[in-house]
């Protein structure tokens, strides 16, 4: 028997009917997912804490790593950030094509989405640009009227390393563009 892939799970969730009453909740979940990436990329771990449940679990399948508990998840993410340059845009996580469903009681939810990320590593860790992608699967719990991330599964499907990275300022075009 073949083990179901992340793509299989994505399609399985997409086939579930969408109740019109949950559309507002799904947009709220989308906002939490955006904050999930933004707070990590901008290293705002105090804000990151506000969207994680106390017993949150984070699994990175490619690293074969699972960490449990909000404080442990934050410590893990801070450790990953230390590998990257501390310049703006050194780490960016992008999510798209989110499919989410809220349970009938409105207390839990699940979402899956495509993931593409880029990180510029410090010279002592290779100094290259790393592009990678795959899927996120998130579990949520509603506590005190707010959606919190209670579980994250990162399924990394590809990775590309680019050794020569030029850092440019905002709006600056590379010379080969010819403007």
CATH number at 81 reads: 3.10.450.50
Taking CA atoms, 137 is separated from 89, 120, 127, 128, in Å, by: 24, 24, 29, 27
Q: For residue 104, is pLDDT > 90?
A: no
Contact 164, 132 (CB under 8 A): no
Look at residue 11 and tell me if it is in a domain: no
- Measured between alpha carbons, how far is 22 from 20 in angstroms, rounded to an integer? 5
Contact 72, 113 (CB under 8 A): no
Look at residue 33 and tell me if it is in a domain: yes
Q: For residue 87, is pLDDT > 70?
A: no
Look at residue 66 and tell me if it is in a domain: yes
Average pLDDT (135-164) is 91
Identify the band that residue 73 occupies on the pLDDT scale cut at 50, 70 and 90. very high
Q: How many domains does the chain have?
A: 1
What are the tokens at 83? 């590998």
Look at residue 173 and tell me if it is in a domain: no
Tell me the residue range of the domain where 28 lies.
Answer: 19-166
Rg (CA), the chain: 18
Q: For residue 179, is pLDDT > 50?
A: no
Look at residue 3 and tell me if it is in a domain: no
pTM for the predicted model, two decimal places: 0.78
Look at residue 155 and tell me if it is in a domain: yes
pLDDT of residue 1: 36
Higher pLDDT, 62 or 11: 62
DSSP collapsed to 3 states, 83-138: CECCCCCCEEEEEEEEEEEECCCCCEEEEEEEEEEEEEECHHHCCCEEEEEEEEEE
Lowest mean pLDDT among 38-42, 117-121, 135-139, 148-152: 117-121
Q: In what order do the strands lie in the sheet with 129-143?
A: 65-68, 52-60, 146-162, 129-143, 108-120, 91-102
Look at residue 174 and tell me if it is in a domain: no
């Amino acid at each position: 028997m073949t083990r179901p892939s992340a793509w299989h799970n994505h399609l399985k969730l997409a086939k579930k009917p969408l109740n019109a009453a949950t559309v507002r909740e799904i947009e709220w979940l989308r906002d939490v997912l955006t904050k999930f990436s933004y707070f990590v990329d901008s290293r705002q771990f105090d804000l990151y804490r506000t969207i994680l449940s106390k017993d949150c679990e984070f699994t990175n399948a490619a690293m074969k790593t699972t960490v449990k508990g909000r404080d442990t998840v934050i410590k893990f993410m801070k450790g990953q950030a230390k590998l990257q340059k501390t310049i703006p845009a050194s780490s960016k996580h992008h999510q798209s094509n989110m499919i989410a469903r809220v349970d009938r009681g409105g207390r839990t939810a699940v979402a899956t989405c495509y993931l593409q990320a880029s990180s510029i590593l410090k010279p002592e860790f290779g100094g290259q640009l790393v592009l990678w992608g795959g899927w996120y699967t998130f579990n949520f719990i509603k506590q005190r009227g707010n959606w919190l991330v209670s579980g994250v599964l990162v399924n990394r499907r590809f990775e590309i390393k680019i050794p020569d990275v030029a850092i440019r300022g905002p709006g600056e075009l590379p010379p080969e563009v010819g403007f």
